[in-house]
C-alpha cells in the first residue's frame, strides 16, 4: 500500500469534510449555476453582436460614399 505525506492526507480530509457538509454541495451547485449563466450570457452577447454587425454593414452599404462637411 502506498503511503501519503501528512499534508496530502490533511488536504484530502479537508476536501472530504467540505464535500460532506452542506456547504460543499451548495457551493458546487452555485458554481455550476454561475457557469451556466455565464455561458448563456456569452452566447446571447455573441448573437446580438453578430446581428448588430450585420445590420450596421447593411446600412453602410446603402449610405453614399464620402464624408460629411
Higher pLDDT, 67 or 6: 6
Instruction: Find which of 11-20, 35-44, 46-55 is predicted with most confidence, using mean pLDDT.
Output: 35-44
pLDDT at 15: 82
* Backbone torsion region of residue 39, taken as left when φ is above 0, otherwise alpha when ψ lies between -120 and 50, otherwise beta: alpha
Q: Do 51 and 45 meet the contact criterion of CB atoms below 8 Å apart?
A: no
What pLDDT shows up at residue 38?
A: 97
* 27-46 residue pLDDT tens: 889 999 999 999 999 999 99
Does the pLDDT of residue 66 top 90, yes or no?
Answer: no
Considering the entire predicted model, what is its pTM?
0.52
Amino acid at each position: 500500500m502506498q503511503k501519503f505525506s501528512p499534508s496530502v492526507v490533511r488536504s484530502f480530509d479537508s476536501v472530504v469534510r467540505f464535500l460532506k457538509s452542506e456547504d460543499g454541495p451548495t457551493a458546487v451547485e452555485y458554481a455550476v449555476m454561475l457557469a451556466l449563466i455565464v455561458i448563456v450570457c456569452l452566447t446571447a452577447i455573441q448573437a446580438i453582436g453578430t446581428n448588430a454587425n450585420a445590420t450596421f454593414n447593411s446600412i453602410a452599404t446603402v449610405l453614399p460614399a464620402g464624408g460629411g462637411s
